[in-house]
Structure 1
């Protein structure tokens, strides 16, 4: 198996960032994101989980964000990823969950990130934001 170059890794990270932020800004559905995630190799799914957990932590998720994100994700509050993200402080380590829990973890993490990032876009970044990922063009703007 050929190794991926650093350029491939950077491109994949940008793709991950784009997909997650499109979901957070309702430019893509969580189901579309889940389908994208499900098509990845195990190693890539682990990278995505690590990255999305990092995005969520950077958005300063709270236990309340965790509960709101779990409700938004469609998962049971008793699912392992749901419990982890609702702890105070939220747990990380989603990569260490069994592979059959990765899709659940993705849905929960993206949903929690959506809640926290939306809050931050409406408060801290409103009108003064320089974060490119907070200002993604809509499909009609891309034309």
Structure 2
């Protein structure tokens, strides 16, 4: 069963939920839950198995300044080390970390859906329409402050 975090991040990755609405949800979280959201974003990103070329092109699509710490880490460290350091950033960096990870996940998961999963996978998160969730403000309000 998918958790709210899975539904929201995958909805974002599949262009069913805009970044601004996802960030409104993120902003409602307590800092401990923001850290959990960043942690789960990292897990989802790793599971999408981006290669070095995809990581490089994905970094360019992150809607943050290239001088922000999470992006600098991705540009200067190996992928695994950068991810470890990103999830360990100070509290004040959690929103930038979240944006970085979900934006990179979006690029990576799109490629995964097109190349590996197109019409053949049984991944529940790749067929969100079967959940009959309407991603309107009422639904998002019901998830405010919730990760699990």
After TM superposition, is the score higher than 0.5?
Answer: yes
CA distance in 1, matches of 2:114, 2:69: 30
Equivalent residue, structure 2, for 1:81 = 70
Figure out how many residues of one structure are paired with residues of the other and give that number: 131
CA distance in 2, matches of 1:84, 1:63: 14
Equivalent residue, structure 2, for 1:92 = 83
Check conservation: 1:24, 1:110, Cα contact below 8 A: yes
Check conservation: 1:81, 1:108, Cα contact below 8 A: yes
CA distance in 2, matches of 1:137, 1:111: 21
CA distance in 1, matches of 2:40, 2:124: 17
TM-score using structure 1 length: 0.81
1:106 aligns with 2:95: no
Aligned-pair Cα RMSD in Å: 2.3
CA distance in 2, matches of 1:27, 1:116: 16
Runs of 5+ unmatched residues, structure 2: 135-148
User: RCO greater where, 1 or 2, for CA within 8 Å and sep 6 or more?
Assistant: 2
